Structure 1
Amino acid sequence: MVVASPSPTHPEKVQFIELPIIDLSAERSKVINLVIKACEEYGFFEVINHGVSHDIITRMEEQGLGFFAKPLGDKQKAGPATPFGYGCKNIGFNGDVGEVEYLMLGTNSLSIVERSYAISNDPKMFSSAVNGYIEAVTGLACEILELMAEGLRVHDSSVFIKSQVDDEDHGVWVPVPPHPTAFCVNVGDVLQAMTNGRFMSVRHRAMVTNTSKSRMSMAYFGAPPLHTCLTPPIELVTPHKPLLYRPFTWDEYKKASHSLRLGDSRLHLFKAT
């Protein structure tokens, strides 16, 4: 959750853009083409008709808001985030002002049940809401990954078109209005590396625009096993598009990310030489 600041720093005024909004109930080949295009050109997209019920989302939101509304001492009982647990950090990267507090949870249902006693006054309700949400969004994440994988197979990798960040933009943050019923999906660094740069991992941040109200986000991180070797399929590496990143494991990436600030780039540490 990003905590509201009494004196926020506003970025320069720029025009809002709309991310691609993809209807997952549409014809599959159309959905695949839209997903691939969004991953290549934006690194972000939103999905609607995703199959995650409003009730599941609402129950999770209620539990999250209830936890963050507790006194600091009660929240700290959830333990330091090492990596799972409660944490709070000041944010000051790129002129942002305020602080972010977070509750990191694993996806193992038994782990959620065990931790719920330190997190909630109603552990049974908390674990039921969280595990229900995890089950639903895990299914959604797997569906989206299948669409990506199928799209990469059917697209000719020799025709490589990818939008790059324009140097003339000088790193300007572009505001995107939220969609009330959509899930926002972003390409992570691992997908950029595993597609040899075809998909674009883009820096992003959540901002509080209402200074009298905090903002809560619920993020689901899909990641491979710790010691899986991450490298692109051979079809995505050609003489015209040589390997951009050396093979690495998720464990290596996590250790590198822990040594850097939240907003720092990480992929440059794994560039092929």
Structure 2
Amino acid sequence: MVVLSKPVIEHYSLVKISKSQTLSPSGTPIIDLSKQDCKYQLVKACQEFGFFKVINHGIPNEFISKLETEAIKFFSLPLSEKEKAGPASPFGYGNKNIGQNGDVGWVEYLLLTANPGLHYDKFAAFFGVSPENFLYAVNSYISAIKEMGSEILELLADGLNIQPRNVFSKLVMNEQSDSVFRVNHYPPCPQLGDLTGKNLIGFGEHTDPQIISILRSNNTSGLQISLKDGSWLSVPPDQNSFFVIVGDSLQVLTNGRFKSVRHRVLANGFQSRISMIYFGGPPLSERIAPLPSLMKGEEDSLYKEFTWFEYKRSACKTRLEDNRLGLFEKIAAT
């Protein structure tokens, strides 16, 4: 799939290759959702990594393959045709530019709202003679992912021994939930062979501001997560599983017990990478603060209370690599 016509790779961000970027994947938490005691493994993964892979998730392969097929159809179109579905403001087609503050990446994408019953009229004309195939694929996939995300969030509440068990899940299942869905395409970059000792950034390092992110990609590598020591762990692709990422809002709700993990995507030299990410966000008016049931004894809140709208607006003004939560952290009196 050729997307970027005669791109100049020097205009994109580069990172040096080092041994820290090829760490063994054996430490990546793998959670079997069919196991009754997985709630404790989920909590441990959120505390230590802010990231984990789920297996035996129950999402029908049909939903996954249909959506990937429709996405490939779209991204295979000439750039001039895809741009008719843009710009992403906020929803629509985007290419290279990420956000409004100068970040660029070797990526093109479709950003959609994840609210139910959508028709996506802006994009339907670009999915062949039967746009309903695309609508069905997107809505079926999002519905299944939201259910799985809700289950994971309720298991996390169980693992933390807090009530009600839907204290997290109700925020993303609310009809007014500000959740979004993104399909990324990272085209192959044969010119990478000319970048001795360097890698091309597909999507720059960042944390996700929402509560939880659920990611699935095809069988192409590129995803990396940042470890506590600042090194980068390359995550082996697994097209049959899902990867779950703790967002900033969940870090605040747990008063820092769970950690939102920094992650990025590196470009691949010869293979296209398709990823599909559901970002579970609360309603815009929802107030985000540490849960009282998690505050032990005289434990203080590490964060100022804010609405999701306030945090989302603040995040939109930052660069990808900025510490978005920094503006909302409480500074101890001296």
TM-score normalized by structure 2?
Answer: 0.70
| CA apart distance, 1:232 | 1.4
Alpha-carbon distance in structure 2 between the residues aligned to 1:138 and 1:109: 10
2:19 is the counterpart of 1:13: yes
Equivalent of residue 226 in structure 1, options 278, 284, 292: 284
Q: State the superposition RMSD in angstroms.
A: 2.6
Q: Describe the shift of the 1:267–1:118 C-alpha distance in structure 2 as closer, same or farther (beyond 3 A).
A: farther
Aligned to 2:274: 216
Of 72-81 and 187-196, more deviation after overlay is shown by 72-81
Are 1:26 and 2:35 matched, yes or no? yes
Instruction: Write out aligned runs for 1:121-270 (5 A).
Output: 121=128, 122-153=130-161, 166=228, 169=229, 171-208=230-267, 210-238=268-296, 241-270=299-328
SS at match of 1:197: coil
Higher helix share: 1
User: In the aligned structure 1, how far is the partner of 2:258 from the partner of 2:91?
Assistant: 29
The structure whose RCO (Cα within 8 Å, separation 6+) is larger is: 1
- Matched residue, 2:118: 111
Secondary structure of the equivalent of 2:256?
coil
Question: Any idea what SS the aligned residue of 2:118 has?
Answer: helix
Identity percentage over the alignment? 46
Equivalent residue of 1:77, what SS? helix
**For structure 1, which segment, 107-116 or 144-153, has the greater mean C-alpha deviation from structure 2 after superposition?**
107-116
Query: Contact conserved, 2:285 with 2:307, CA < 8 A, in 1?
Result: yes
Task: Specify the alignment match of 2:193 in structure 1.
Answer: none
* Alpha-carbon distance in 2 for matches of 1:180, 1:165: 23
TM-score of the aligned structures, taking structure 1 as reference length: 0.84
Summarize the Cα distance change of 1:115–1:98 in structure 2 as closer, same or farther, 3 Å threshold: closer
Letter in 2 for 1:13: K
> Mind listing any 5+ residue stretches in structure 1 that lack a counterpart?
156-163
Task: Give the length in aligned residue pairs.
Answer: 254
Could you say which structure has the higher strand fraction? 2
Give the 3 Å change call, closer, same or farther, for CA 246–118 of structure 1 in structure 2. farther
Decide whether the 8 Å contact of 1:113 with 1:123 is kept in 2.
Answer: no
Q: Which letter does structure 1 place at the counterpart of 2:30?
A: I
